[in-house]
Amino acid sequence: MTIDLRLEPNEMPLLMDLYHLTMAASFFEEGLNDTACFSMWVRRLPPSRGFLVLAGIERFLEALEEFRFDQAALEFFDSLKLFRKEFLDYLATLRFDGEVRSMPEGAIFFAEEPVLEVRGPLIVTQLFETLALNQIGMASLIASKAARCFVAARGRRLIDFGLRRSQGADAGLIAARSSYLAGFDGTASVLAGKRYNIPLFGTMAHSYIMAHESEREAFASFARNFPRLTTLLVDTYDTLRGVKNACIVARELAREGVRVQAVRLDSGDLLELSVAARRILDQEGLNNVSIFASGNLDEYKIDGLLRAGAPIDGFGVGSAMVTSSDLPCLDAVYKLVEYGGKPRVKCSIDKATLPGSKQVFRALNRDGKFCGDILALREESAQTIMQEFAPPPERVEPLLTIQMQQGRRILPRPSLNDARSLFLANLKALEPRYKDLTNPAVYPLKRSAALNAMVIEQRLWAQKQQS
Amino acid sequence: MTIDLRLEPNEMPLLMDLYHLTMAASFFEEGLNDTACFSMWVRRLPPSRGFLVLAGIERFLEALEEFRFDQAALEFFDSLKLFRKEFLDYLATLRFDGEVRSMPEGAIFFAEEPVLEVRGPLIVTQLFETLALNQIGMASLIASKAARCFVAARGRRLIDFGLRRSQGADAGLIAARSSYLAGFDGTASVLAGKRYNIPLFGTMAHSYIMAHESEREAFASFARNFPRLTTLLVDTYDTLRGVKNACIVARELAREGVRVQAVRLDSGDLLELSVAARRILDQEGLNNVSIFASGNLDEYKIDGLLRAGAPIDGFGVGSAMVTSSDLPCLDAVYKLVEYGGKPRVKCSIDKATLPGSKQVFRALNRDGKFCGDILALREESAQTIMQEFAPPPERVEPLLTIQMQQGRRILPRPSLNDARSLFLANLKALEPRYKDLTNPAVYPLKRSAALNAMVIEQRLWAQKQQS
């Protein structure tokens, strides 16, 4: 029996929609399998969001390397009574042997910019739509949300507390990884710590306090058992009395060489309580005991608390970050932009696409700050594009690079720490006005002249498709 | 190498927070391991939400049956340099041998009502907090959102289109299952179809049309390949010209015995376009070709379209449903309510808990409609509780039943179809005023006299805990 909680290895290629299979079958019957290029981008962002952070590319590439349908999958397809044996035999041998280009894991990007392009035979490349959107979409969504918390926290410690409220097991893992990538200091999730080597942090639950006959007894025994890792949760009963109890215990245990690191506030008015708790701690000579806060926090609340001067040294961020609660999914798409060497477009209302395989060029000024991007055709050169910026920038960088060729990775796998470093460098290079939490400036993005010309040509082509 | 996309079997017990392990270690050192009872409930709902639907219990029970830490897990714990060997040896033997009570999968429930109670030794039962909240929380969140779509759709076909925008792989699976449980007709997700035997549905993507040299050619070849499963996507270029092309193809192919089932609208003003499309189809004598709509739909938009008379026969619902976009996480908690035979509470501001192991009694009237619930202590009888309803109902049903004893399941596993039937029956028994999408009436829920008495007693107890 398959335990339902687990995603078995052979199930990964089945993360697709039925129509990917029926379209594959139809293409197979028609003999349509020329080289296609699919491009993934985010269509638009709400005005409160100034930038996005790319994540999930690594997982996607790993999945492509291992992509194959096993016997169980083929038997399931057969049971649907939709497919001919010849097609199922073909699926049994199907592998991805194409090319993947992408921006690097951890890169800052903007709406409308392709972050991924998959090129290869039509049948196999179209199968990856759902996998790409599900995995890269989710990982980037959370990295982008976590980056906002990182901006708001102004260097205070940030810990992912969200596994319990994340949307399933996979979401919890992705959120821990994406938030660490985007500047968080660690996670409470044991599995994420094990898998990704992310620093683990933890305090204590209310149940720990409640299982003891008194709050002080609970504090003291935990601190003795973890003399290097003690954050005391003070709000189980009355918060400020809890802080006072923490002080009593901290001073008593200091004699034994045990150090209480912090108190944790998890409810009530965090500004008021943190000010009062700081005062109590300082009066008791416990200036080195820090204050950690949690409880329905997001970037807006963290920003508000710190602007108001709350003496909080670290934040545990859960539900709002791990679900990106104000924007719980990205309007990301994976669309055919080229087939058989020719550009393709769709013209659906509000959902039109731009034709052709592309490159995103980013202009940097003398200080290394980002000063605008140009969306160009793949074959355009940085030199030509340089001319299209006004004023001309110090230099121009192409953001999409080849990751896989003939189905194999050609670049070394970046570690999570590499991606984190890249994110931190990118964030530094992004001017503060684009990082505003509520009303960010719109980052300059324009299309190259060659892309614009192709758009016009393609609109005419599309009209002919319906006659 | 562990492929990152996959959740390996031995990883399931690691879906916990670091503090569960450190608390376990501390309890172990103190010898605190009496019988505990943990209770899970949703603290509150926004005013637009009138009811919730329970799901995920099955997965949770499966995980508990198989719960054990393997060697790799223990080595990882050891690598953290936090735990003594004696504790790790203890973890190696740890199993769940306690009791689980819950409401049944598919039940309608309300905020503040316990849906799950886990009773057993303190150390092991506290470990399941994150697993329960993550899995039951997510599955119930989506079942509750999908139920709203089901109410709005008034019997029209509903298909889950959300895998691509769900928050990771597990979320996509959970969403397909939960939405089918809550009345949807099927899913587009191949993996969910395979795992749960949910009916699979699919149309075609824009890339299918774009890979062909003309829209009509694309329509005709797909229809020929799938003479029983053809829904033509008409909005790749101009929608109404697309409908006309679909008519031409449908009439041509009718001679070959191929039937076009539906056209699919995926962009633009769905009311206007569906009216125009219906007119065109009817004019062409294609009254039996139905109209299927998709594109950023949710319960509010479905309700609006149908109220306005849109001639739409079925809906594909994605992003908003699979992420529960207007409420992306439930304020669910898993709290200690009893330890060593004594009730326990926490008093945190806005987060106080009710003491004791509980039962939820539901009153039904003569027509079998739900007329109110009472939150009672576990040992109270239906007979006593009956007296506390005014006027007395026809009958009273206890909702929590024993699912596991001594770590083993004692009830037969309900199938997904059982859960779906229970949901449909529960939904029928819920008066329409509680199902309003924007301003539902508040379902009557009160506490038994015995529970109220215990609450008062426990407040006094809590004050003593801090002295």
Q: Please tell me if residue A314 touches chain B, with a CB cutoff of 8 Å.
A: no
Kindly determine whether residue B20 and residue A66, on different chains, have CB atoms separated by under 8 Å: no
Whether a cis peptide bond, with omega within 30° of 0, leads into A398 is no
- Determine the pLDDT at residue B345: 87
Instruction: Say yes or no to pLDDT of B267 above 80.
Output: yes
Q: Please tell me if residue B465 touches chain A, with a CB cutoff of 8 Å.
A: yes
Residue B392: count of CB within 10 angstroms of its CB: 11
Q: Taking residues B221-230, what's their average pLDDT?
A: 90
Q: Residue B148 CA to chain centroid, in angstroms?
A: 12
The predicted-structure confidence for B441-462, as pLDDT tens digits, reads as follows 999 999 999 999 999 998 888 8
* A146 contacts: CB under 8 Å, gap ≥ 6: A53, A158, A160, A175, A178, A179, A181, A182, A183, A184, A317, A321
The model's confidence at residue B2, banded by pLDDT at 50, 70 and 90, is: low
- CATH fold label, B9-142+330-357+400-465: nicotinate phosphoribosyltransferase (3.20.140)
Least CA distance to A160: which residue of chain B?
A: B17
Class (C level, CATH) for A154-322: alpha beta
Q: Taking CB atoms and an 8 Å cutoff, what residues of chain B touch A161?
A: 17
The model's confidence at residue B332, banded by pLDDT at 50, 70 and 90, is: very high
User: Among B11, B161, B190, whose Cβ lies nearest the Cβ of A191?
Assistant: B11
Kindly determine whether residue A465 and residue B215, on different chains, have CB atoms separated by under 8 Å: yes
- Please classify residue A444 by burial: count the beta carbons closer than 10 Å to its beta carbon, then call 0-12 exposed, 13-18 middle and 19+ buried: middle
- The residues in A 405-444 lying below 8 A from B, measured between CB atoms, are none
Instruction: Say yes or no to pLDDT of B19 above 80.
Output: yes
- The residues in A 362-401 lying below 8 A from B, measured between CB atoms, are none
The predicted-structure confidence for A259-308, as pLDDT tens digits, reads as follows 999 999 999 999 999 999 999 999 999 999 999 999 999 999 999 999 99
- Determine the pLDDT at residue A2: 61
- Determine the pLDDT at residue B3: 72
User: Among B134, B165, B189, whose Cβ lies nearest the Cβ of A168?
Assistant: B134
Q: Please tell me if residue A194 touches chain B, with a CB cutoff of 8 Å.
A: yes
Query: Which one of B164, B333, B464 makes the best mutation probe of the A interface by having the most chain A beta carbons within 10 Å?
Result: B164
Q: Taking CB atoms and an 8 Å cutoff, what residues of chain A touch B171?
A: 138, 167-168, 170-171
Say if strands B99-102 and B401-405 run parallel, antiparallel, or are unpaired. Answer: antiparallel
Residue B35: count of CB within 10 angstroms of its CB: 15
User: Among B18, B26, B201, whose Cβ lies nearest the Cβ of A18?
Assistant: B201
Residues of chain A with CATH 3.20.20.70: 154-322
Q: What percent of chain B has pLDDT over 90?
A: 91
Q: Which residues of chain A have pLDDT under 50?
A: none
Q: Taking CB atoms and an 8 Å cutoff, what residues of chain A touch B159?
A: none
The predicted-structure confidence for B139-180, as pLDDT tens digits, reads as follows 999 999 999 999 999 999 999 999 999 999 999 999 999 999
Residues of chain A with CATH 3.20.140.10: 17-142+329-357+400-444
- Determine the pLDDT at residue A352: 86
Superfamily of domain B156-322: Aldolase class I (3.20.20.70)
The predicted-structure confidence for B355-370, as pLDDT tens digits, reads as follows 999 999 999 999 999 9
Say if strands A290-293 and A314-317 run parallel, antiparallel, or are unpaired. Answer: parallel
Q: What are phi and psi of B73, to 5 degrees?
A: -65, -45
- CATH fold label, A17-142+329-357+400-444: nicotinate phosphoribosyltransferase (3.20.140)
* A189 contacts: CB under 8 Å, gap ≥ 6: A160, A163, A172, A173, A176, A200, B15, B16, B17, B18, B130
- Determine the pLDDT at residue B349: 83
Q: Taking CB atoms and an 8 Å cutoff, what residues of chain B touch A215?
A: 465-466
Kindly determine whether residue A141 and residue B351, on different chains, have CB atoms separated by under 8 Å: no
Say if strands A157-160 and A186-187 run parallel, antiparallel, or are unpaired. Answer: parallel
What value does the mean pLDDT of chain B take?
95
Kindly determine whether residue B168 and residue A134, on different chains, have CB atoms separated by under 8 Å: yes
Say if strands B230-233 and B260-265 run parallel, antiparallel, or are unpaired. Answer: parallel
How far is the CA of B99 from the CAs of B12, B35, B76, B121, B451, in angstroms? 20, 10, 29, 10, 22
Residues of chain B with CATH 3.20.20.70: 156-322
Residues of chain B with CATH 3.20.140.10: 9-142+330-357+400-465
